[in-house]
Structure 1
Amino acid sequence: MKQSLLVLMFLAFLLPTHALACRGDVVTVMDYMAGDWMVADQQGNVLGYSEIREGAGGCAIRERWQGQDGLEGEAMFTARDGGERWRMVWSDSDGLMLELDGQRQNGNMVFTGAQESDQGQILHRIVYELLFEIGEIHQRWEYSTDGGRRWQVFFAGWYLPDD
């Protein structure tokens, strides 16, 4: 009996925790997103406010967006493959729902996915860039209606700490 208990304790020690399994020791811009943010355009005009929180033992990040234009949105980010890849699901008060896959590229997190519309397929690309030296995060959301040949900016915002 004692021997079985010792073996079980040893095996439990070897098993990774859920947080380690989903995030590992990979550091990405996602590690810096939790907090309250004022989001502005390049000229400093307020676009809205974002509340970002970690959940599920560090395996998920939830964003709640409140735009100055009245748009409300929520995103759920979930870590996969030790934090190398992420999944993002976005839903907003205009009825848009997107599922995007993300991974690190050149120090940024890049999420891509497709949306079917009456006009055909729309590709989406959302890039999160950590501007570590000034404590900001830049988000650039682009879309393409021609299979990725040309991209147009849908949204560009600078996440500034909302003190």
Structure 2
Amino acid sequence: MAAQCSARAARRSPSSGCPKTPGNATTVPMGARLARAALTDDHSRKRSRSSMRSTVITTAVLAFAFAGAAAQEDQAPAPLADPAELAFEQGRWEDAIAEYREILEEYPEDRLSLLRIAQAQRELERHDDALATLEAARTANAPEAMIDLERARNLALLGRDDEALAALDAADHSGVRALALVESAPEFDKYRELSRFKRVERNVRARVYPCEGIPEASAFDFWLGRWEVRMPDGTLIGTNTITKDDGGCAIHERWEGAGGSTGSSVSFYLPSRDEWRQVWTGSGGTLFDITGKAGNGSMHMEGTLEYVETDRVVAFRGTWTEGADGRVRQRLEEFDLAAQTWIVWFDGFYRRLD
């Protein structure tokens, strides 16, 4: 139980009464700290003191330090995972229930263990027991959203469809964010075409992926895809793969030049500024950071370009334009200080490969 106490104390209340497990890297044994203090003090003693007395004191303190270190080595290491969590992860549902009940005996205030017990009971198809456990979890003030989502799963498995849908509505009202469960739990398959279920699913997704609900965050979608890129004269200069990731919040670019160069960028919409930003890094030591807005089938951004090798920073701008034939033109320009004019840095025409 001592080993379990250490692991559980780390995830429960710090007032649990379980001893803290010392860290391997930063905790210095008491004996070693005393030895260091004694040695430091010994060096500051007056030379007139007896060297024999200093040797005796130092030897005694070092012996105490070694004893303390040995005692620490004899301590059993804390388990890597709580036995209850491990049983749950491995699908040993009866063991998990027993372990979580043991935790509740030690920590009656642990509300999450009740939720875990209910989940294990559902896996064992003991749905009435699970519903009773969930009511106990509600009384213990466990998260309402997860309680109602679990209730919906059990009620659906029992064929109590109206109650299941009502529980889903309650979970949605409480702000449930378990999108993966809502989208994939097989017991909800019979509800997926219902407008009531679709509304819940849509609301949960909006909470988890808020960028998907921002119209302006889709203004650069015309650039998405895998493309071959050619110069105005038709010369192939590379391929570019543009993907939308991170819940629709970011557009990632992965450039592969025909001559072996590479580069990548991330573009994202900033609602607070109502503008887009793109940050690029290229294998040739080119870095640019530009911001701007979309409009009329194009994206225009301005900022600075930095050349790593020459430690030079110049004004920079770029425009992406969607053509009627589905192609995209990307034109990038830098400002030539000597000529006091904009010069073409890159001019590519994109044709889809996918």
Query: Counterpart in 2 of 1:31?
Result: 221
1:17 is paired with a residue of what secondary structure? helix
What does the per-residue CA deviation read over 1:69-119, in whole Å, with 9 as the maximum and x for residues that have no partner? 221111111222189422111011111122211212443111211245658
CA RMSD of aligned residues (A): 3.1
Q: Are 1:138 and 2:329 matched, yes or no?
A: yes
- Provide the residue aligned with 2:173 in structure 1: 10
Residues 146/72 of structure 1: CA separation in 2 closer, same or farther (3 Å cut): same
Match of 1:102 in 2: 292
Larger radius of gyration: 2
1:145 CA displacement: 3.1
Point out the structure with the larger helix share.
2
The 8 Å contact of residues 37 and 160 in structure 1, kept in 2 or not, is answered as yes
1:70 aligns with 2:260: yes
Q: Is the 8 A contact 1:87 1:99 kept in 2?
A: yes
Distance of aligned partners of 1:14 and 1:160 in 2 relative to their CA distance in 1, 3 Å threshold: closer
TM-aligned CA deviation for residue 23 of structure 1: 6.0
CA distance 1:138–1:23, change in 2 (3 Å)? farther
- Is contact 1:37-1:50 (8 Å) kept? yes
| Equivalence for 1:129 | 321
For these two proteins, the number of residue pairs brought into alignment is 159
Instruction: Report how far residue 127 of structure 1 moved.
Output: 0.5
Give the drift of 1:137.
0.7
Checking the alignment, whether the CA contact within 8 Å between 2:240 and 2:253 is kept in structure 1 is: yes
Identical positions, percent: 26
Q: Equivalents in 2 of 1:49, 1:106: separation in Å?
A: 26
Q: Is 1:40 aligned to residue 203 of structure 2?
A: no
Unaligned runs of 5+ in 2: 1-137, 146-169, 176-202
CA 1:83–1:65: 2 relative to 1, 3 Å = farther
In structure 1, the partner of 2:52 is none
Q: Secondary structure at the match of 1:70?
A: coil
Aligned CA distance change for structure 1 residues 128 and 154 (closer, same or farther; 3 Å):
same
Secondary structure of 2:341 counterpart = coil
Moved more, 99-108 or 115-124: 115-124
After superposing the two structures, state which structure 1 stretch, 113-122 or 94-103, moved more. Answer: 113-122
The residue that corresponds to 2:131 in the other structure is none
Higher relative contact order (CA 8 A, sep 6+): 1
Note the C-alpha offset of 1:158. Answer: 0.5
The structure-2 alpha-carbon separation of the partners of 1:135 and 1:122, relative to structure 1 and needing over 3 Å to count, comes to: same
Tell me: CA distance 1:140–1:18, structure 2 relative to 1, closer, same or farther (3 Å): farther
CA distance in 1, matches of 2:265, 2:172: 38
- Tell me the TM-score normalized by structure 1: 0.80
Runs (5+) with no aligned partner, structure 1: none
Structure 1 equivalent of residue 239 of structure 2: 49
Q: 1:18 to 1:44 in 2, by over 3 A?
A: farther
Q: Is the 8 A contact 1:142 1:154 kept in 2?
A: yes
Deviation at 1:14, TM superposition (A): 9.8
User: What TM-score, normalized by structure 2, do the two folds share?
Assistant: 0.40
How far did 1:17 drift? Answer: 3.4
Letter in 2 for 1:10: H
- Residues 23 and 82 of structure 1 are in contact (CA less than 8 Å); yes or no, is this contact kept in structure 2? no
Q: Which has the higher strand share?
A: 1
Instruction: Kindly indicate whether the alpha-carbon contact (under 8 Å) linking 1:23 and 1:81 is maintained by their aligned counterparts in 2.
Output: no
Deviates further, 114-123 or 91-100: 114-123
Aligned-residue offset at 1:15? 10
Secondary structure in structure 2 of the residue aligned to 1:151: strand
Greater Cα shift, 14-23 or 32-41: 14-23
Q: Which amino acid aligns with 1:61?
A: I
Indicate whether 1:88 and 2:278 are aligned: yes
User: Taking structure 1 as reference, are residues 33 and 83 closer, same or farther at Cα in structure 2, changes over 3 Å only?
Assistant: farther
Worse-superposed segment, 14-23 or 100-109: 14-23
Instruction: Provide Cα deviations, 1:8-66, integer angstroms capped at 9, x if missing partner.
Output: 843635995364447612342x1122211000111211111011111101111111111
